[in-house]
Structure 1
Amino acid sequence: MGWAGTALPGLDAATRARLDALPAQDLPRGTRLFAPGDRARGFAIVLAGRVEVHLTGPSGREILLYAVEPGESCVQTTLGLLGDAPYTAEATAATDIRVVSVPAALFHALMDGSSSFRAFVFRAFAARMADMTALLERVAFARVEARLAAALLELAADDTVRITQAELAARIGTAREVVSRRLEAMVRQGLVETDRGRIRLSNRAALLRLAAGV
């Protein structure tokens, strides 16, 4: 079975064959896939790894809009192809990635002629919009401390998070200086311990309560 049958289950045989004929690319971590002002030239399907999409404000502050992992889609690309709109955000490979790009002409042909491909695109688009709505709710209504605690819990492996303060700030939608102050407060409260590029969770139960707004 080719990559299409694995990555996009439920496709009809004709669509699967057309997609399987497309080559996959292996790209290193740090590769920029698109930037603000670019036009979408194809529909990227991530087979392995993680792509992160950031929005940068006039002040230079970044926010992580969403990540694209295997089986997920990029809402910026979908909007660009369907609405002929330029990108407003930047996408970068957060890890080494394996990706297939469906050329724009083939994307539109499949959207017109393949109900299974069209269903995949719209299901993935709906899921991504739900994620972005949840992000908006967190940024608008959740306290910074709660967002920071939730991010640390999500990222922790063996109670250790390896991330910079700038990356944490982008993930939770605030400034690096704010993250620095909140982490210092968490250290004083005995919730975490910090080292260069590393945060160790000292009191997971308290962090869970903080993330829940308790």
Structure 2
Amino acid sequence: MSWIDQFPGLSSLGSVERELLLANSSVMSVPKNTVVFGPGKTPDHLLLLLEGTVRVEQLSEKGREIVLYRVRAGESCVMTSACMLAFESYSAQGVTESEARAAAIPLKVFDQLVSESADFRHFVFTAFSTRIVELFHVIEDVAFQRIDIRLAAKILELAQGDELIRITHQQLGAELGTAREVISRQLSEFQRRAWIKQTRGAIQIVDSGGLQKLAGN
């Protein structure tokens, strides 16, 4: 069993395509908080994540940021594949949120497989279309959803059943594409309602039911 088998979309590749990938790709380890790509850089490898998480975020000229999506184990980064297909540079950055391992497919091999392998093309474009749908949801939320509802939902999402989330107001602002001051005001209101308790660099959930009701869950 090779790293290829960690990706269901690649399981149907034939022996020739598998040998091409294994012979020309390398598995790399990346420390936590490493910028793996950034605006203006041109990709020369497609990274398929084996372990860890990569946060992909958009940065504005004024320093504002918004998290677009996360790449998790068993996924590829569609920002990279899109740039490789269009011969474009990155317009966003990717940062490892934990120590990560990834298989790096060189651009030349990527181009060859996209050209010659229907199964590989299906893998690339299925991932691309799925992520595009997710990004439309992000745009819809930012444009039309109230910030208090989005914040309640994000706190519950990040908590994953735990009561304590280690995150700053600035980081929450980046998650939701809004200013730190907006997050601070909303968190103060949540605390006034006894839904959360704020500590330095962390949020403790006191009443998840209140957050769930606001978030519509």
* Correspondence for 1:170 among 151, 168, 174: 174
User: CA-to-partner distance for each residue in 1:12-59, whole Å, 9 max, x for gaps?
Assistant: 222222222322111100111111111111111111100011111122
Q: Find out whether 1:99 has 2:102 as its counterpart.
A: yes
8 Å CA contact 1:42–1:102 kept in 2: the answer is: yes
User: CA-to-partner distance for each residue in 1:113-150, whole Å, 9 max, x for gaps?
Assistant: 11111110000001111111111011111111011101
2:47 aligned partner:
44
Task: State the distance in 2 between where 1:129 and 1:86 align.
Answer: 18
8 Å CA contact 1:46–1:72 kept in 2: the answer is: yes
* Correspondence for 1:10 among 1, 12, 28: 12
TM-score calculated relative to the size of structure 2? 0.94
1:19 aligned partner:
21
TM-score calculated relative to the size of structure 1? 0.95
* Correspondence for 2:127 among 124, 127, 138: 124
Shift of 1:75: 2.3
1:206 aligned partner:
210
Q: CA RMSD in A?
A: 1.3
Amino acid at match of 2:204: R
Shift of 1:73: 2.5
8 Å CA contact 1:73–1:128 kept in 2: the answer is: no
Amino acid at match of 2:84: L
Amino acid at match of 2:45: G
Query: Which stretches in structure 2 are left out of the alignment for 5+ residues?
Result: none
Q: In percent, how many aligned pairs have the same letter?
A: 38
Amino acid at match of 2:140: E
| Stretches (4+) displaced over 4 A | none
8 Å CA contact 1:52–1:64 kept in 2: the answer is: yes
1:181 aligned partner:
185
Query: Which stretches in structure 1 are left out of the alignment for 5+ residues?
Result: none
2:150 aligned partner:
147
* Comparing 192-201 and 10-19, the one that deviates more: 10-19
Task: State the distance in 2 between where 1:206 and 1:95 align.
Answer: 31
Indicate the SS of the match to 2:94.
strand
